[in-house]
Each structure stands twice: as structure tokens, then as C-alpha cells.
Structure 1
């Protein structure tokens, strides 16, 4: 992989890929309450296969709640969610993972005290079937599976250029690399839909540009569909094919990133009124 260029260079590639795609994810009129608070209010989105689709909005707008509904952590009380045509609302998180959905989290959620390699290997857990019988017949049964799992992990390490820190404890590496390790762990699960919850939070400009390049490379090489929550709007406009903007649990704009972000309702949501935009 070449050294990352400016984020604006990725924008042209994102806009060039806006052709009509088969549907990977569809949320229809999804609503979710927490006690008397309605966090999502009849939100509908459609994400095409191979698309990078952005979820944008101020803090508390419902972005993470929608992702948690999709991944099974907080099922919606109303509405439907389809993954490649199959209804998944109410499906438990581990079953959603086995259907090809992997995610990263807003706060780094790595296993402290473990190496980079072991953290990434944990992403293969959905393919592992441990048992006493497999351990007893390890040379003819479990060894083959272990070799295959490690080969997949090494492929991800190469893709994300983590060779130099593969044996380091995750506690000792910088935040930018920790975020990359978390991305690697998600990719190790071989997802069809990759959900990234603020993957660039806390990063400097150089780290952001590296992460943008890695996300684009992963999408291209692995054929992923990406659902991206991100507050860095330069990143959103650079790599997202389309976005939906949420505010107070409602979708207030949807479309190509630059068009949606310039919508007066979006400007008002972010800075308190279109009149202040100038």
C-alpha cells in the first residue's frame, strides 16, 4: 500500500462508485425506546452491496442506537431490518455475527494484557468449535483448523500493515494502532457487512489518512459493505458513497455526502441555524 494521500483524493473514488447496487442492508421504520425516551423514530435506510454508507449526526442523535439495533444488542420495538434479504431484527448478537456482520466500537474494546496477534485471532471465534474430543485428536482434527485460522489472521495483518507490532501487547501501542488492531479483529471475522463506530476518534490527521486508506483497501480487496459512524466530516465526504443524517432520533437528510451535509436542516442541527453558516 502506498503512503496515504489527502482525504479529498478519496472523494472522487467514492463518488465514482455511486452506481445502483443490490441491497445489502435495509432498515424500515425502525423505532427504539429506552423508558420514556424515544431514541429512534421510524428511521429507514438502504445500503447497497459494496457501498460505504455514512451515519452522521450530533451526539445523541441515535447513530449508535441504530447500529445496536442492526447488530442485535438493542432490538427495535418497531420496524424491520433485513440483511441481504433476510429479516434479522431480534436476532441475538452472536447469530448476527455468524450471518456476516462485524463491528468496531466507539471506545477501543481490545483485550488488555494480550498481544496484537491474539486480539486479532479472537475475531475468528465464530469459526472455532472447541471441544474435548477435538483437543484429544488435535493432530488430525483441530490442528488443521488452527492453521487455517492463523493463516486468515496473517492475511489481515499484512493488509493493515501490522507486522511490526504483531507480538506487542495492545496496552503498549499508540491509540492509532489500537484502532487499527480493532479493525483487523473485525476483518478477521470475514464479514460481509462491516460496521465502524467512530473508527477515527482521537486520531491526528496523519492517522486518519492511514485509516481512510485501510478502509478503502479492505472494501476493495474483501468486497465489503461498510456502515460508518464518524464525526470527522472531512472523512465522511471523502469516502462515503451516501450518508443519512440523524437528529433527535429522526433522519433529516439522505443522499450523496456533500449534498446531504449542505442541507439547511443539517446545518441547523450542527450549528444552530442556517443563518449562522456564513
Structure 2
């Protein structure tokens, strides 16, 4: 538990707390009293088999599918039921399992879209563009340029996003999320479809972004080698319930977690072994 204890140092205060969150869709209960807590600067893993409730929990946090019961607090503010655009404005950004970039637009323009939560239209600013609006535009551009430099996207900045490789598209999507200046970044399978080299690059950029921008990160990922390498703690969901939570390596070796991933393996009884012999 050394990794987990490091997070809970003096002055610890959770960035995100989900308390007994449940969500049903008709007769299907997708989440059953799930509780998690993410600390400042922590990379927290959320894993489980397909259909275990991971994305449903993320959608509850970000306001797309509010929980039926339970509470969600972000930096001490209750956000369960808050509309998605308001959740984003509070400082939560996310990427999606399937790349959700705007085709026909350049990488740069896609990243600039992440600044929309900081672009407040003002009538007077439109009238006096060179005094106010231009100043805002320069500030937004500066933020985007810093992110392009951080994620090493200079070579594709003017390329249409549909023309660049998948690994680079995922990096552009990460850049767009970072452009919103989040305090909590939610990454939904950021390495899906990547080869080993692309995964290694993405791991490095996630760690660099956490360090440079003082982020807390909720990571959903099927690549368990990545989860155990960079996550301080991991929660494991199965059939909508949390079945384990621990330091990453300990959680993934839990017998119930192993059974959830590969199925329960029955240990042969002595009598059966003798009979087989």
C-alpha cells in the first residue's frame, strides 16, 4: 500500500469523491453503490471487463447520465446532476474511448476547441475587438501553443486530423482536453488501438502533463501493464460493482479480480486427483 499512502500525505483533500453511486437503465442496473476517491495529483485507475460499468461511472461524473442515487463531489462541490457544460466549466475534462475529433479541421483548430469553456462572448468585446477580444484571443493561443509544445504536436498542427495516424489523433484529443485547463482529467481508454511504441509515447505524455499542469487523472484502460505502471491506486468494477480497490499491483492480483477477467478456475479436489491417476 506504499503508493496509496503516498497520495494521502499531510493536508490530503480529495479532488473527486463518488459516494455510493448507482445508475439504472430500465431493468439494467449499470452501477451499484460504487464509491471512489481521487487525491490531488493522483493517477487513479478504473478497470474491469467490458460492460462492468466504467464508462457509466465516467458519464455520471461528467453529467451525461446523472446517478439515480449517491453523491459526487468535485473539490467539495456537489456535481451529481449538474449539466455537462457546467461540469466542464468547473474543471473536469475528458477524452473518449472512440476518437471524437472534428474531421475536416486541423489539429490546431481541434485543440483550440478545447478553449471554449474560457471563451465568453461579449458584445462590447466584439465592438472594441482590438482592445479586448484580441487580447483574449492571444491568451487562448498562448495556452494552446504551450500544449502543442508539451505533447510534441508541432509537425501535425496544420494537418487535417483525419489524415494523421491514430496514435497522433489520440494525442490531439488529449491536447484538446488539456486546453480546457482542467483540474481533473478523465482518460477513457486513451491507448485503444495503439501499437507498443505509440503506447509508450502516450504514457510519457500523460505523466508529463500531470507534472506540468498539476493534474489529477482518472484513467480507464484495458492495457493492464499501463495501469500497473502509472496508477497509484486502482478500482476494479465487475457487473456494476466495485470488487477491489488497492495499490495497482495488489488490486490486479486479487483472486476476485483474476476471476472476473479470466473466469473462476476450480481447484481439483484430492479425491479427483487420485481418481484421475
- Say yes or no: TM over 0.5: yes
1:159 — aligned with what? 150
Superposed CA deviations along residues 189-232 of structure 1, whole A, max 9, x for unmatched, are 00000000000000000000000000000001110000000000
- The within-5 A match list for 1:98-109 is 98-109=89-100
Q: How does 1:127-206 map to 2 (within 5 A)?
A: 127-206=118-197
- In structure 2, the residue matched to 1:9 is none
Asked if 2 retains the 8 angstrom alpha-carbon contact of 1:264 and 1:274, the reply is no
Instruction: Tell me whether 267-276 or 42-51 shows the greater mean CA deviation.
Output: 267-276
1:5 aligned partner: none
How far apart in 1 are the matches of 2:226 and 2:266? 25
How many aligned residue pairs are there?
264
For 1:26-175, what aligned pairs fall within 5 Å after superposition? 26-175=17-166
Gaps of 5+ in 2: 268-277
Kept in 2, the 8 Å contact 1:236–1:257? The answer is yes
Report the Cα offset of residue 134 of structure 1: 2.3
Please give the TM-score of this superposition, normalised by the length of structure 2: 0.92
Asked if the contact 1:265–1:274 (Cα under 8 Å) also holds between the matched residues in 2, the reply is no
Alpha-carbon distance, 1:135 to partner: 2.2
How far did residue 19 of structure 1 move? Answer: 4.5
Give SS of 2:100's match: coil
CA shift at 1:274, angstroms?
A: 4.5
Structure 1, unmatched stretches of 5+, are: 1-11
Moved more, 129-138 or 119-128: 129-138
TM superposition score normalised by structure 1 = 0.92
Tell me, yes or no, if the aligned pair for 2:107 and 2:172 is still in contact at 8 Å.
Answer: yes
Cα displacement string for residues 85-117 of structure 1 (whole angstroms, at most 9, x for unaligned residues): 111100000000010000000000000000000
Q: 2:239 corresponds to which residue?
A: 248
2:181 alignment partner, SS class: coil
RMSD value, Cα? 1.5
CA shift for structure 1 position 273? 1.4
Q: If you compute each CA radius of gyration, which structure gives the higher value, 1 or 2?
A: 2
State the distance in 1 between where 2:30 and 2:8 align.
Answer: 32
